[in-house]
Chains A and B, each alone.
Chain A
Amino acid sequence: MSDLVSQLKERFGDGIVDVNAETIDDWIEVTPDVLLDVCEFLAGDSAIKLDMLNCITAVDYLHTDPKKAAKADFDPHMQVVYHLSSIEHKHTLVLKVKVDRWKNGEEGSLPEVPSVAGIWRTADWHEREVYDLSGVLFTDHPNMKRILCPDDWVGYPLRKDYEMPLEYHGIRGR
């Protein structure tokens, strides 16, 4: 882990924002700008060779209750988490990217993260799912549209401030 971190820091400098080696699963946080290069390096380097992307998750950090928000130890933000593993070397890595909940703070414009579907095809559907449920736009994705919800669904259900629509094509929502 420490070897890998120093290698990454040497290569990407300020792109590596944070490293946490004390938690249950160690993770590395990178900026969205370098994400694609970091992933290409991790997947391509023969000693690291993280050739399998297990999972992409978006975690919405936001307290909707103002009382709780005042006490919270985080600013509202969105985290995209990549779980990677290597079939050959049998090791795993967690990569994180932090973005604003809304691009430039404008409600309704989705935050953007570069798509890694060109490196791991798994990302194709996983990114569509994250877009569908959490509202993160993956730039340069081959087919960025909803996957689980219908195409005309409004809102992103896994965001903490999501409200179920009152009706959908005449079906009562709540």
Chain B
Amino acid sequence: MSTKVDDPRVIEFDVRTDEMLINMGPQHPSTHGVLRLILRTDGEIVSEVEPHLGYLHRCAEKIGENLTPRQWVPYTDRMDYLAGMNMNLGWALVVEKLLEHDLPEKARHLRVVISEMGRIASHLVGMGAYGLDLGTFSPFLYAFREREKILDLFEKACGARLTYSYLTPGGATGDLPPGWVDECRDFLAQFKPCIPEFHELLTNNQIFISRTAGIGVMSAATAINYGCTGPVLRGSGVPYDLRFNGEERYTEMYEGYQFDVIVQDPETGKYPDPHLKEFGDDLDYPEIPKEAILGDCWHRFYVRMLEVVQAIRLVEQALDKYESASGDWGQPIKLTQKLPKGEAYLETEAPRGQMGFYLVSTGDSIPWRVRARSSCFCNLSVTSELCRGTLLADVPAIVGSLDVVMGEIDR
């Protein structure tokens, strides 16, 4: 937001101010990990932001040149550690693309269940942590209460709560345990009525709206030029979702599923019908506040909230399909499977944006080169553009709305 001289919030206009460099981070709790920002300020107004990365760099790509694809799966967990399942999926798909390995029907639906549950868990953290960024603690607790239940389900499926390594090239490490599907349905049934709660806590909250609406506005052209993807891109009004527009190997996973791309309709100014009434509640979705401008922090947050609902729809459909599908859960490929000579690149729609993996092989069982294209890396690069000319207090609001995870940026 540009600041005008008559803006009553800027009291320093009568006071002489000097340019000052402020260091924010790398241990600042509102930066979603160890991100360091150098802010050049004049009074309350930020003129320049320079992010410094690399505090969480763990040489994942170099390690990938020394391990077989299946051995590298645990390293993908540790990239976006809030959506480990989706990272596993991206890597599994690219290895399968190189091997031209096809999955049984059941494995396909199992992957939809797992990755969409991962999306819900990840967006819950995104929502709760965003509340923390803006100085409210309670949404965080509500979000983590629900996320905990998803983690319990994941724990039952694969034994781990954060670093799953469950989806693996070839399928998954095992089938879902007996009774899991019913437990998952129970969870969804009790989770649905919680969504209006979240909206009351944040989306509709006047303080929240004042802190986010009209702040950090990003045009669609800027978002595309900076390579922003995921909710950040769709929050700027670009209808692009890899589950629809991606490569066939990925989109065929979602074939036959009913769900919407969450993006504001440029003509009506409305988001797709979120089907909240279906959830047995009279509450309709909150109206878009009049202060909100397409591409601001509020819209990015709202897109994430609506995606949670779409994810629930997908999981419900996938559970039905999973139960009636034929085949097994997909036997993992051999640990030392020889890779054909060649290269493959594939992007998937992870919760935070498009996560791409690039695999080059010279015909060995160990890849010649692996590369992880991080969505947050590109999303974060737009910070300096968005923060120019804003108030100091808006910087955490803007960085938080991009929902970055440093593990994925630094790899």
Contact = CB atoms under 8 A, between A and B. Distances in A.
Given A90-B245, A121-B381, A59 B227 contact: no
A55 B57 contact: no
Interface stretch (A29-37, A100-108, A144-152, A166-174): A144-152
B142 interface: no
Determine chain B's interface SS by DSSP, over half rule.
Answer: mixed
Contact of B377 (A51, A59, A81, A125): A125
B358 to A, nearest CB: 6
Interface string B61-84: 110010000000000000000000
Contacts of B381: 121-122, 124-125
B343 A24 contact: yes
Nearest to A85: B347
Given A24-B344, A158-B62, A121 B54 contact: no
B140 interface: no
Given A147-B53, A149-B54, A121 B225 contact: yes
B159 interface: no
A52 B227 contact: yes
A57 B358 CA distance: 9
Given A52-B224, A54-B227, A90-B245, A133 B343 contact: no
B373 interface: yes
Contacts of A147: 53-54
B342 interface: yes
B368 A59 contact: yes
* Highest count of chain A CB atoms <10 Å: which of B53, B65, B381: B381
Interface string B183-206: 000000000000000000000000
A126 B226 CA distance: 11
* Highest count of chain A CB atoms <10 Å: which of B240, B343, B344: B343
A139 B11 CA distance: 44
A157 B366 CA distance: 18
B226 A54 contact: no
B356 A55 contact: yes
A60 B342 CA distance: 15
A130 to B, nearest CB: 10
A48 interface: no
B15 interface: no
A54 B54 contact: no
A59 B360 CA distance: 8
Interface in A124-165: 124-126, 129, 133, 147-150, 157-158
A99 B240 CA distance: 34
Q: How large is the interface on B (under 10, 10 to 19, 20 to 34, 35 or more residues)?
A: 35 or more
Interface in B382-411: 382, 410-411
A25 B345 CA distance: 7
A150 B381 CA distance: 18
Determine chain A's interface SS by DSSP, over half rule.
Answer: mixed
Interface residues of A, number: 32
A55 B339 CA distance: 23
Contact of A57 (B98, B347, B354, B371): B371
A94 interface: yes
A120 interface: yes
Contacts of B245: 90
A83 interface: yes
A81 B59 CA distance: 20
A59 B225 contact: no
Given A125-B377, A147-B54, A55 B344 contact: no
A2 interface: no
A54 B57 contact: no
B184 to A, nearest CB: 33
A53 interface: yes
Contact of B344 (A25, A87, A121, A124): A25
Nearest to B341: A73
B57 A149 contact: yes
B225 A54 contact: no
A154 to B, nearest CB: 15
A87 B354 CA distance: 13
A53 B354 CA distance: 12
A29 B331 CA distance: 37
A83 B342 contact: no
A52 to B, nearest CB: 6
Interface in A47-67: 51-55, 57, 59-61
A129 B373 CA distance: 11
A121 B226 contact: yes
Interface string B227-259: 100000000001010000101000000000000
Given A87-B238, A125-B377, A125-B378, 13 more contacts: A23-B342, A24-B97, A25-B343, A51-B224, A52-B224, A52-B227, A54-B347, A55-B345, A83-B373, A121-B381, A147-B53, A148-B410, A157-B62
